Structure 1
Amino acid sequence: MTHTTTSTRSRPSTQRRRVRRCLAAATAVVLTALTAAPAVAASGPHPVRQSAGRGALLGVTPVADLSRSEVAAFLKGADIDPATVRHGVRAYRLTYRTVTPGGEPTTATGLLVLPRGGERRLDLVADTHGTMVHRDYAPSVATDFGLFAPYLHAAAGRAVAAPDYLGLGKGPGLHPYMDTTSAVSASLDMLRASRTASRALGRPLTGDVYGTGFSQGGQVAMALGRELARGADRHFRLRALAPVAGPYDLRGAEVPALLDGRVNDISGVFYMSYFLTAQNRLHPVYADPADAFRQPYAGYVEQLFDTRHTEEDIVTKLPGSVKELLTDGFYERLRHPDGGLLAALKAQDGTCDWKPGVPVRLHTAAGDTDVPIANSVNCAADLARNGVRARVIDHGKADHNGSFKLAGPQIVRWFDALAHS
């Protein structure tokens, strides 16, 4: 439920390495020690009062400062249309307070990206990322895929809040993969931290929020939009939702596609291993790894998802199909889930079963063998039952990553049109 594990992760180009070396000097101006005083005196003219609650800002670290041409080259190098790039960008890693899946206090990090130029007061794009296993893939520490959407939207003139989620980036602990509740709470608290940081940096937010996200983040975007629409924070007003290739329907679309071959084997094994090991920390999915996984995988599969292994490393240590990964009994449980497995699946479904009061577009691709198009079709059907017509935009033969690369610039243009309507 991410950029496919079969793709090759790009390495930073020479140009980007040079840019990042230049930026290292800028981090001498790190805006930290925010908890040492009751107010933040950042580069903006107005100090911002802090609180100790959820979303409280604990640190701001500059991580990037790119010109318009550098942003355009970065996106073009990834085969993303840079035509909507109008500004350079400045990016900051935020550290902030949030809560664990059990409601206990913790911290998380995320990336705030601001345009260089444009309006002083900025609308905000909430961009939620897809599946990531290594903590350094997350937006606030990324060098490639995790930056594409944040830079694309910020270069068009809006602020972007891209949460790392729990346990990724510089956040403590393990990542509770596909736990929608904690992904939403971490994302909402990232919006709050971004509001504080943006004001301190002299670029206050208007309060209008445009929601988007890719893959796992598409599902999170729908759930976050629901919370904003319900009034989760009075400072934010949801304006539109445009998620891409989200696994909105695990029980009705994603798991059946995994079992009948519509999900490619390598990605299916990767997703299933990640989902089961992460969800078992939240629900009683299995009592012992050997109850779910065949040997030798049962002996080490949980250790693979420690946020320090890469996707490429993980897939070389797992078998070629889900049937080879799971015991016969657990494979059958996937067909007819019960107990903790059913609870884990149910907890992530239903993110489209509500009535948004804003325009919604669902981007997908018929050629996607990671998150099949049935997820978006079923999401649109759920919205329709609630009286909302959401357009499903099919990017045809594009694969999973390709669906985002085609959708991203279209979403920027759509947000532009809505902002000026």
Structure 2
Amino acid sequence: MGGKRRIGRRVGAAAVAGVLLATAAAPAVAAGVSERTGTQRGDAWRGTLVAAERVFGLPDGRAAAAELTAHGFDAGATRYGVEAWRLVYRTVDEFGQPTTASGLLALPSRAAGHRLPVVSYAHGTEVHRDAAPSVHRGFATAPVVAYASAGYATVAPDYLGLGLGAGPHPWMDVPSETTASLDLLRAAGEFAPREGRQLRREVLVTGFSQGASAALGLGRALQAGADDWFRLGALAPVSGAYDFVASQLPAVLDGRVAPEWAVAYTAYLLVAYDRLHELYASPAEVFRAPYAETVPELFSGDHPGQEVMAGLPATLAELLTEEGHALLAAPSGELAQALAELDSVCRDWRPRVPVVLWQAGGDEQAVNENTAACLAALRAGGARPGVRDLGPVEHDGSRHIGSHVAAVPEIIRWFDRLG
């Protein structure tokens, strides 16, 4: 219990270099030196490359377009073929200790040029480590292909505990999402010259659902100068739960979030946050039998999504004890502090770059009040963000997923206009 991270301790703030387990041989990088600038950084081991493996290639724009349309994405912006690599890199875990993580880097074909604009894309919620972008080619990698085939060097972190990272995954933990995203950018900056490419300084940051909060966390860090090379260029988060306490949790409890997703997200939140913040002494305090015995293992990272959903009840009333329901209805203690940290992604900072928030009307998973609250918070801080409502778009019967599919080509066009 004593090893859990307390609120206010930012991941990596006091991390020190250590011996890390490498998955493959990699060139040595001098401790304390940033290869991109030659300047000294006390944590310069973070983001150094451990291993790189080519995972797939699309020889030309036609092949990339076929990949996108096969998964329901618009291919109108496709111009180039794509080469994709899984990068394993050094980072810090959710407790600030040295570890490794994995992520995907996709580069457009050489016709796109030598010096490439950069997109960082943060994916939505996954429960199985093998569903992460660097491991599972399919719907999860389609956005990466879309951005890369439009001419952008694109990175997609798996996050801690997913892909080849040690688990379990600390779901909706913005500090560790931020460090995993930032350190993947650094690893990509080290790797790209091996392919004869260079990454521009300005990073166009986007993400969907869970990744929307992760994108805002990365954007805030980049603007604050967390890296000595990369800088924030623009922000385009999609359908995030930015206002968990005042918007998302009430919708989970009153039925506006579809019941199956209310149950899944509630279980994931309680299990993941207990690992970090000591919410309860025993799962039986918040979960009814038999779920108190089974739910923590379901979210170990070793079970596919369908298996997780099959192992959960149909309603929150079947999942939660009275104490568990009360904790969500009026968060207190460690949970209140943890959710305040999560809800801070839109508050008390002023992005100095173009920002557009994207949503679909009637989102059944991340209710639209989240976007309205984020918009208001950013404006209160002095920013001038825009908002784009994509309408009642659907994909496989979900407006939430539909917003993701519809937003990607729109965001590409927006990034293109920004130059």
TM bin (shorter chain): 0.7 to 0.9
- Measured after TM superposition, the shift of residue 394 of structure 1 is 1.1
* Alignment partner of 2:91 out of 98, 101, 112: 98
In the alignment, is the contact (CA less than 8 A) between 1:284 and 1:339 conserved in 2?
no
Q: 2:26 aligns to what? A: 34
Q: Distance between the aligned counterparts of 2:331 and 2:100, measured in 1? A: 33
In the alignment, is the contact (CA less than 8 A) between 2:177 and 2:217 conserved in 1?
no
- Measured after TM superposition, the shift of residue 36 of structure 1 is 5.6
In the alignment, is the contact (CA less than 8 A) between 1:57 and 1:96 conserved in 2?
yes
Q: Distance between the aligned counterparts of 1:264 and 1:317, measured in 2? A: 17
Q: 1:405 aligns to what? A: 405
**Does residue 134 of structure 2 align to residue 140 of structure 1?**
yes
Q: Distance between the aligned counterparts of 1:182 and 1:38, measured in 2? A: 24
CA deviation vs aligned residue, 1:159-191 (integer Å, no higher than 9, x gap): 001110101001112111111101101110001
Question: How much is the aligned-residue C-alpha RMSD, in angstroms?
Answer: 1.8
Q: 1:87 aligns to what? A: 80
In the alignment, is the contact (CA less than 8 A) between 1:290 and 1:298 conserved in 2?
yes
* Alignment partner of 1:56 out of 48, 56, 61: 48
**Does residue 231 of structure 2 align to residue 237 of structure 1?**
yes
**Does residue 380 of structure 2 align to residue 375 of structure 1?**
no
SS at match of 2:71: coil
In the alignment, is the contact (CA less than 8 A) between 2:112 and 2:151 conserved in 1?
yes
Q: Distance between the aligned counterparts of 2:62 and 2:334, measured in 1? A: 51
For structure 1, the residue ranges without an aligned partner over 5 or more in a row are 1-30, 40-50
Bigger shift: residues 331-340 or 371-380: 331-340
CA deviation vs aligned residue, 1:101-123 (integer Å, no higher than 9, x gap): 11110000000000012121111
Instruction: Give the letter for the 2:409 counterpart.
Output: P
Q: Distance between the aligned counterparts of 1:32 and 1:125, measured in 2? A: 26
CA deviation vs aligned residue, 1:256-309 (integer Å, no higher than 9, x gap): 110111100001111111111011011121110000000000011100011111
For structure 2, the residue ranges without an aligned partner over 5 or more in a row are 1-22, 32-42, 394-398
- Measured after TM superposition, the shift of residue 32 of structure 1 is 5.0
Instruction: Give the letter for the 1:414 counterpart.
Output: W
Q: Distance between the aligned counterparts of 1:325 and 1:356, measured in 2? A: 40
Q: 2:396 aligns to what? A: none
In the alignment, is the contact (CA less than 8 A) between 2:279 and 2:334 conserved in 1?
yes
- Measured after TM superposition, the shift of residue 38 of structure 1 is 6.5
* Alignment partner of 1:393 out of 374, 388, 392: 388
In the alignment, is the contact (CA less than 8 A) between 1:250 and 1:348 conserved in 2?
yes
SS at match of 1:239: strand
**Runs (4+) off by over 6 Å:** none
SS at match of 2:100: strand
Q: 1:190 aligns to what? A: 184
* Alignment partner of 2:247 out of 249, 253, 256: 253
**Does residue 414 of structure 2 align to residue 414 of structure 1?**
yes
SS at match of 2:207: strand
In the alignment, is the contact (CA less than 8 A) between 1:165 and 1:187 conserved in 2?
yes
Instruction: Give the letter for the 1:86 counterpart.
Output: R
Q: Distance between the aligned counterparts of 1:322 and 1:144, measured in 2? A: 31
- Measured after TM superposition, the shift of residue 71 of structure 1 is 1.3
Residue 201 to residue 344, structure 1, CA distance change in 2 (3 Å): same
Q: 2:16 aligns to what? A: none
Q: 2:113 aligns to what? A: 119
Q: 2:334 aligns to what? A: 340
Q: Distance between the aligned counterparts of 2:357 and 2:410, measured in 1? A: 12
Instruction: Give the letter for the 2:123 counterpart.
Output: H
In the alignment, is the contact (CA less than 8 A) between 1:32 and 1:61 conserved in 2?
no
Matches within 5 A, 1:3-402: 33-35=25-27, 53-67=45-59, 68-116=61-109, 117-353=111-347, 354-398=349-393, 399-402=399-402
In the alignment, is the contact (CA less than 8 A) between 2:49 and 2:88 conserved in 1?
yes
Q: Distance between the aligned counterparts of 1:119 and 1:59, measured in 2? A: 25
- Measured after TM superposition, the shift of residue 365 of structure 1 is 1.0
Count of residues in Structure 1 that have an aligned counterpart in Structure 2: 380
Q: Distance between the aligned counterparts of 1:69 and 1:38, measured in 2? A: 42
Q: Distance between the aligned counterparts of 2:126 and 2:262, measured in 1? A: 15
Instruction: Give the letter for the 2:373 counterpart.
Output: N
In the alignment, is the contact (CA less than 8 A) between 2:29 and 2:45 conserved in 1?
no
Identity across matched positions, percent: 46
TM-score, length basis structure 2: 0.88
In the alignment, is the contact (CA less than 8 A) between 1:98 and 1:189 conserved in 2?
yes
- Measured after TM superposition, the shift of residue 347 of structure 1 is 2.0
Instruction: Give the letter for the 2:97 counterpart.
Output: E
SS at match of 2:277: coil
Bigger shift: residues 140-149 or 284-293: 140-149
- Measured after TM superposition, the shift of residue 344 of structure 1 is 2.2
